[in-house]
Structure 1
């Protein structure tokens, strides 16, 4: 479990691992990055209270570095990837181990079940769990059937499969899970999705944190595409294309108004089409409180625009490692 600034959710995340209905030996390895809250103190308290909990230091602070440090310290042949703001379903590990045995997969994983705790995080969770938000990524949708997958949320790995591909790429600050699963598949290991594996995920709870998260994700997804161009798809190109088109439509429309050019003014149709898309999404998503529905258009715009801008800008060469 790589953790940083997880004061609010860490205890619950660890408790969900410790309380698993799993008959075998179990340990929790916490890779603690430099934090701005009490994450390190809470991790130390948890380890002092339970010998199955181990703390390792992750001074670099990056997620893939912490994951590799934790894997190196782990004592067992099955590695369960957990987040500090995720809570495993009760039989998650037992089900995953059974699926590893039944399928022969190198990695099995399941559903990212985003759950909000207030109006804003509820809207963000709804966007995560919808095709309108993240474009239909399989592990975000409850109706995705079990079977081979390009990638899964988190994952339960055979240690031998991780060793075969060299573990997580420490030069990738984001998108390292997707890239690892790509290398596993390329090396001949099955990546298997099952909706029976469910993780309650606590999303960001501010527009600023959401924008930063998606901007950096867009940056690093472009870096993965630069390294593995064969992995590009329309789904990943949609946000940067939409951002570019909306920017051109707004600028062109304004110029058209100034010059009284009807053709250029007509470019306003592009951002207006996106507004229509938001309206349809907001109206058709179910199970939202009125306060969350009110925030949903801004949430969708933040996710799409931040991701698209990040992809267009990309990662600075000095940050590539």
Structure 2
């Protein structure tokens, strides 16, 4: 573990932004970074992966209008390739990650630098805050902020400031990033968690700052939600396979739940066909799970409203079971660009 040295107030900051297909949101994301109200120097490196829209054209135009912006290519296509390319194109000791479809809240950079200065951590960050108005999207947003939906990680549901396993996006000390060799390009998903795990294994501190909140627009369709959580489960299996010590109840519960529901349903069907009451009783397991989803949805009603609460049992079920199915499947046959 290297001695990272002190962080000065208003230290120069490098912001890295991997983008692909961000034609509609890139300009707003860039503006939110450069007009964040930070007193120190800010540079921004945008790593653009090839795509069918005008993202590269927009990025180049923004760079031509502002010398603080550098645009680099990302021929590797994936987020970790882009992040590493952007890191290499920047020079400051503090490196802040931002996404091209997110808007950096005012004061975010100052919070990040202050947290690095106060804590001596290698990485500080907060949580994403899903925001939506349409009933399904709002149900998904609330589920993603609830322990009923996604577990108890601080960067998902919030919590007290302090050491954490991982944080959303992150503000890093460059020396620690370079010691780790940057992001592992194998992990097209879960690359943040994997990097933070390596930082902690090396003796560095990852620090959660509740006030570092970044708005996030969640998926707005059942299909997109299922695909997102299935992919997340597959890559979490890969993380656990590489780092067995990271296996936890939170990660193992969804696949165990899925297997239990399938097994109990099959036993109940066999029992009904053969007329065996003991096997028919296995139907109580999926019934109990369904009841649990309804109870959780009722408890979340004050935050969701009635229209979203009606959809909540389905949203929670899709999250749990597709994540579990992805974990069971793993990435053995996945494309390494994360789209398999």
Q: Please, which of 251, 266, 269 is the counterpart of residue 251 of structure 1?
A: 266
Verify: 1:51 aligned to 2:36, yes or no: no
Once the two structures are TM-superposed, the CA of residue 320 in structure 1 deviates from its matched residue by 6.5
Which moved further from structure 2: 190-199 or 114-123? 114-123
Verify: 1:41 aligned to 2:57, yes or no: yes
Q: Runs of 5+ in structure 1 lacking a partner?
A: none
- 1:305-320 → structure 2 map (5 Å cutoff): 305-316=321-332
Structure 1 length-normalised TM = 0.94
- Which residue in the other structure is 1:116 paired with? 132
Change over 3 Å in CA distance of 1:258–1:6 after alignment to 2: farther
Q: Please, which of 137, 146, 160 is the counterpart of residue 153 of structure 2?
A: 137
Once the two structures are TM-superposed, the CA of residue 54 in structure 1 deviates from its matched residue by 2.1
- Which residue in the other structure is 2:307 paired with? 291
Q: Runs of 5+ in structure 2 lacking a partner?
A: 1-16
Distance 2:151 2:36 in 1: 32
Runs of 4 or more off by more than 6 Å in structure 1?
Answer: none
- Which residue in the other structure is 2:186 paired with? 171
Q: Please, which of 160, 173, 198 is the counterpart of residue 158 of structure 1?
A: 173
Change over 3 Å in CA distance of 1:120–1:8 after alignment to 2: farther
What secondary structure is seen at the aligned counterpart in 1 of 2:288?
helix
Structure 2 length-normalised TM = 0.89
Distance 2:55 2:276 in 1: 58
- Which residue in the other structure is 1:77 paired with? 93
Deviation by residue 1:197-225 (Cα, 9 ceiling, x = unmatched):
11111112222222111111111111111
Which moved further from structure 2: 265-274 or 49-58? 49-58
What secondary structure is seen at the aligned counterpart in 2 of 1:69?
helix
Change over 3 Å in CA distance of 1:264–1:39 after alignment to 2: farther
Distance 1:165 1:283 in 2: 45
Q: Please, which of 156, 160, 164 is the counterpart of residue 149 of structure 1?
A: 164
- 1:213-228 → structure 2 map (5 Å cutoff): 213-228=228-243
- Which residue in the other structure is 1:273 paired with? 288
- Which residue in the other structure is 1:68 paired with? 84
- Which residue in the other structure is 1:263 paired with? 278
Distance 1:249 1:120 in 2: 30
Q: Please, which of 243, 249, 259 is the counterpart of residue 234 of structure 1?
A: 249
Once the two structures are TM-superposed, the CA of residue 41 in structure 1 deviates from its matched residue by 3.4
Give the length in aligned residue pairs: 320
Once the two structures are TM-superposed, the CA of residue 36 in structure 1 deviates from its matched residue by 4.1
Which moved further from structure 2: 311-320 or 60-69? 311-320
Distance 1:219 1:305 in 2: 12
Q: Please, which of 82, 94, 112 is the counterpart of residue 110 of structure 2?
A: 94
